[in-house]
């Protein structure tokens, strides 16, 4: 996705920390001491597979200890929880990752993230040989990455020659009957596992698969049962960063695993994964740039897992275009045809709830989808409770406003519906239109579409419409129109006047020649609040449907401007029926056609709403 504000943000993080040269290369593995210390890549992948990246994200490096959560998951998949739990505990150790020790009481490794537990996990992979064991591990990792991964033979040879401490751990595990078989074969598989090549993007996709409950969002393949994913992430949260796990969870708050190859992988369940690669390591054996980047990203985007006071569910309530859900303003037939044809060029994204980063990412992505075909973007925040924490420097807000400003730069129109006014603190761009209600925004968008796409011959709404120009008379001949008009009585009303009330007996048909009226209904018996059902303008009629059905008035009719009407009373209709039955037949035909048109329009709107709710 080009020009995404999320990738721009990752670029800012890259530039902020690329000159941070703290830390050292992992020189205890000779091959790792030769890597370029300036490499730096950042990738964010959502649980549904959207990838944002910046920097050296395709450069390969060895996965090292980030392999541990995945091998642990494969061990559980092969043997079940009970068996694995008899071999590996799930307690935080507080020890360094390569500590040669077991729990004093259980005589088991304290968790699967330290080397003792990880070597045990490797030993539990079902295979007839060490070669088959690694091949199963490599294939498993490849499924998580959605591509075929390979071994870095040089790093493997280097670890094989110098990994004496890990050999000591393997023999200790053998001594306590934690691992079975030949420790040398197990340790070779472990070194191969750690020497598997990945890129930062691979790691992010692997993490996104964990975030997506074990289903790879790229391939769609279910790789692990969700119960195993739950266990993996729980252990990552308490022990993934070794003796720095407490500081990490306090300051960053994302279940994570680091590796001495320079990678760090963090996973937020149900939301996203973040992968960072930079080979200079801090005293805990984690990427120094990576830790700094994670701390900043988590703080900027409010990603701490304990930020539980706000919903992490989808913030998009509905997405529609104005041809699917037009305003309540009745339009002429010609206008409706234009809006039916070009209304898709005005897109409404209706949000709800609390917008955290994952929700903002979804909104931003939806804004950029098919953007070339859209003229007007309407962001409806009516049901939004909050956008992160609302401070002036909030990164998520800035990302969302950047999208709007980018649309303006592309010649698009941007509209925000904000009934509360709480979300516009950062908006200094006067070109972004702001409305208090969705209805006002829809009417404005319709006018813009009509102005741009109507040809000069289209019959558009105007403030005054002569009675002879009403669409109602489209099937009348000239004499019928004259005879009909002779039966009409003129009426005048001021802005704010009430023409009819709910429950009134139907009095006839009203033709609006000037002004505007609204049909409204009280919200509750004792309420003083009215909900507008529709708006009628010059050239339109009302009262004919109730006349045909014999029902009493279902709405209050108010003038929204100084209004001129022509009124056909029931007495006039009765006279017409007796004295000029052909004229009466033409009238009832016009009423039927108008009713059908209204029914068809309403049915299409309802169908669109049902489709959106199903989505």
Binding positions for substrate: 65, 115, 159, 166, 190, 242, 260
Distance (Å, whole) CA 27 – CA 5: 38
* Cα 415 from Cα 375, distance rounded (Å): 11
- Report which of 175, 185, 190 is spatially closest to residue 98, judged by C-alpha positions: 190
Give the H/E segment covering residue 69.
helix 67-79
**What residues does 588 pair with on adjacent strands?**
none
Q: Which of 420, 229, 445 is nearest to 321 (CA)?
A: 445
β-pair type (413-417, 376-387)? parallel
Q: Are 377 and 448 in contact (CB under 8 A)?
A: no
- Beta-bridge partners for 520: 532, 556
For 141-169, the three-class secondary structure string (H helix, E strand, C coil) is HHHHHCCCCCECHHHHHHHHHHCHHHHHH
Size of the chain in residues: 615
Write the Ramachandran bin of 532: left for phi over 0, alpha for psi from -120 to 50, otherwise beta: beta
Annotated binding site: which residue ranges? 65, 115, 159, 166, 190, 242, 260
Q: What string of DSSP letters covers 389-445?
A: T--TT-HHHHHHHHHHHHHHHTT-EEEEE-SS-TT-TT---TTSEEESSHHHHHHHH
- 574: three-class secondary structure by DSSP: helix
Backbone angles phi, psi at 388, to 5 degrees: 50, -140
CB neighbour list of residue 406: distance below 8 Å, 6 or more residues apart: 3, 5
How many CA atoms does the CB half-sphere of 460 hold within 13 Å? 15
- Classified as helix, coil or strand, 518 is strand
Task: Tell me the C-alpha distance between 22 and 286, whole Å.
Answer: 11
* Rounded Cα gap, residues 236 and 256, in angstroms: 6
Determine the Cα–Cα distance for residues 474 and 139; give it in Å rounded to an integer. Answer: 72
Sign of CA dihedral 469, 471, 475, 476: negative
Distance CA 339, CA 327 (A): 11
φ/ψ region of 45 (left if φ > 0, alpha if ψ in -120 to 50, else beta) reads: beta
Q: How far is CA 51 from CA 402, 559, 563, in A?
A: 19, 53, 56
Please state, in angstroms and rounded to a whole number, the distance separating the CA atoms of residues 175 and 157.
26
Burial 118-135 (b: 16+ CB within 10 A, else e): bbbbbbbbeeeebeebbe
User: How many contiguous H segments (helices) and E segments (strands) does the chain have?
Assistant: 20, 20
As a whole number of angstroms, the distance between CA 250 and CA 257 comes to 15
């Amino acid at each position: 996705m080009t020009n995404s504000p999320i990738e721009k943000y990752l670029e800012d993080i890259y530039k902020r920390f690329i000159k941070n040269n703290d830390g050292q290369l992992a020189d205890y593995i000779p091959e790792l001491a030769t890597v370029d210390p300036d490499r730096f890549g950042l990738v964010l992948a959502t649980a549904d597979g959207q990838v944002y990246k910046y920097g050296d994200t395709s450069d390969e490096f060895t996965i090292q200890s980030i392999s541990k959560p995945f091998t642990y998951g494969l061990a559980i998949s092969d043997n079940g929880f009970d068996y694995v739990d008899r071999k590996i505990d799930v307690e935080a150790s507080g020890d360094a990752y390569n500590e040669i020790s077991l729990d004093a009481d259980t005589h088991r490794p304290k968790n699967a993230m330290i080397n003792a537990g990880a070597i045990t996990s490797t030993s539990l992979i079902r295979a007839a040989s060490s070669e088959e064991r690694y091949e199963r591990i490599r294939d498993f990792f490849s499924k998580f990455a959605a591509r075929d991964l390979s071994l870095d033979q040089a790093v493997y040879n280097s670890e094989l020659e110098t990994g004496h401490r890990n050999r000591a751990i393997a023999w200790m595990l053998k001594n306590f009957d934690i691992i079975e078989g030949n420790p040398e074969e197990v340790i070779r598989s472990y070194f191969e596992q750690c020497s598997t090549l990945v890129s930062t993007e691979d790691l992010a996709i692997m993490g996104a698969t964990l975030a997506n409950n074990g289903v790879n969002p790229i391939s769609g393949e279910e790789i692990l049962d969700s119960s195993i994913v739950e266990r993996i992430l729980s252990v990552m949260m308490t022990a993934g960063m070794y003796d720095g796990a407490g500081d990490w969870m306090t300051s960053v708050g994302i279940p994570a695993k680091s590796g001495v190859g320079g990678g760090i992988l963090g996973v937020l369940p149900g939301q996203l994964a973040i992968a960072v690669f930079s080979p200079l390591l801090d005293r805990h054996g984690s990427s120094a740039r990576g830790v700094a980047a994670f701390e900043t990203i988590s703080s900027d985007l409010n990603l701490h897992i304990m930020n539980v006071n706000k919903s992490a569910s989808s913030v998009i309530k509905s997405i529609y275009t104005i041809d699917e859900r037009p305003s309540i303003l009745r339009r002429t037939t010609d206008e409706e045809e234009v809006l039916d044809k070009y209304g898709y060029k005005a897109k409404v994204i209706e949000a709800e709830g609390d917008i955290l980063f994952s929700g903002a990412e979804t909104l931003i992505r939806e804004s950029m989808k098919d953007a070339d075909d859209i003229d007007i973007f309407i962001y409806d925040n009516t049901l939004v409770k909050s956008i992160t924490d609302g401070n002036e420097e909030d990164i998520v807000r800035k990302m969302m406003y950047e999208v709007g400003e980018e649309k303006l730069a592309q010649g698009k129109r941007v509209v925000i519906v904000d009934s509360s006014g709480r979300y516009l603190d950062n908006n200094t761009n006067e070109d972004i239109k702001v409305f208090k209600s969705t209805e006002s925004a829809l009417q404005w968008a319709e006018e813009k579409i009509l102005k741009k796409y109507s040809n000069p011959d289209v019959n558009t709404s105007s403030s005054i419409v002569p009675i002879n120009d009403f669409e109602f008379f489209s099937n009348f001949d000239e004499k019928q129109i004259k005879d009909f008009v002779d039966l009409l009585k003129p009426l005048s009303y001021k802005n704010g006047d009430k023409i009819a009330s709910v429950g009134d007996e139907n009095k006839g048909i009203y033709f609006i020649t000037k002004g505007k009226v609204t049909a409204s209904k009280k919200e509750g018996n004792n309420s003083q609040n009215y909900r507008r059902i529709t708006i009628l303008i010059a050239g339109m009629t009302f009262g004919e449907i109730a006349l045909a059905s014999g029902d009493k008035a279902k709405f209050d009719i108010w003038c929204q401007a100084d209004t001129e009407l022509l009124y056909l009373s029931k007495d006039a209709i009765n006279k017409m029926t007796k004295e000029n039955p052909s004229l009466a037949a033409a009238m009832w035909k016009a009423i039927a056609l108008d009713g059908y048109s209204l029914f068809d329009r309403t049915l299409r709107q309802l169908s669109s709403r049902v489709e959106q709710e199903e989505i």
